[in-house]
Structure 1
Amino acid sequence: MKLLLIFLLTLSLYADHDGKKEHQLSKDLSYLELSSEQKERVKGILKQYRVDVKAFREFKEKMENQKESLLTRDVLKEEDLQAINQAINQKGSTIESRFLLQMHTLLNSEQRQKFAQNLEEWEVE
């Protein structure tokens, strides 16, 4: 029984592996082998990104509360729901685009290739 449990646990750890060279920590950029100058610039970019994402999460929560409020009304308009969803998506997209443009400018072509393989880590949700 223990062997079966160990086997299943091991299998589940490797089942998600898709052949990409992975790094250990989420949002860890050590695999990019940044220069000292790049590291300093990345620190500033990441600091701003974290601030923006925190503000986005607060904004999204506020918008979700508005959506809940709409659902309690006697009449619900599709346009109102779409406006809320679009506002959330627009703000998230803007933050993500700004971050990716800054990283693109900073990285060389080899680093961009590596960074692009882990792009899903940086999606604003």
Structure 2
Amino acid sequence: MRFLVIFLLIAKIYADDHELHSKHHIYKELSHLDLTKEQQHRVKKILKIYRKELKEYKELEEDIEDKRKDIFLQKSFDLEKINSLNQQLDREAHGIENRFLQKMHFVLTPQQRKKFVHYFDDWEVE
């Protein structure tokens, strides 16, 4: 559920290519961070990459779900294949989160990081 909410929020940021509109949404979603103009520019790029990775993750998730269903429908249940697919999905989700958080850590000041960490769970890939 959080994935959907985050995806919709990020999609809304990029719904309109007009620069002022995009800045307004960055301020609205991350206003508690008091980003500088340079930080806004960097965060916008980070969010664009994050959104793209989430879209790719969703496609992978659907593909893996189809594979899991196929495995379940087989005459014998292959737990190793199911575990392997689940681990692949987990690795990808953690990779997306880690890359996003690493980039945000680099852009934010220590004070902004303290504010950002209050909404840390909102950025989990599920």
TM-score (norm 2): 0.77
Shift of residue 77, structure 1, vs aligned partner: 1.6
1:76 aligns with 2:87: no
Matching of residue 121 in structure 1 with residue 111 in structure 2: no
Give deviations 1:22-69, integer Å, cap 9, x for gaps.
xxxxx9111100000000000000000000001000100100110000
Instruction: Give identity over the alignment, percent.
Output: 38
Q: Which has the larger radius of gyration?
A: 1
For the residues of structure 2 that align with 1:55 and 1:70, how far apart are their CA atoms?
23
Where in structure 1 are there 5+ consecutive unaligned residues? 1-26
* Greater helix share, structure number: 2
Q: Find the aligned partners of 2:53 and 2:69 in 1 and give their Cα distance.
A: 24
Aligned to 1:29: 30
- How many residues end up aligned between the 2 structures? 99
Whole-Å separation in 2 of the counterparts to 1:117 and 1:49: 19
Q: Structure 2: which 5+ runs fail to align?
A: 1-27
Q: Any residues of structure 2 matched to 1:1-125 within 5 Å, and which?
A: 28-125=29-126
Counterpart secondary structure, 2:29: coil
Aligned CA RMSD, in angstroms, stands at: 1.0
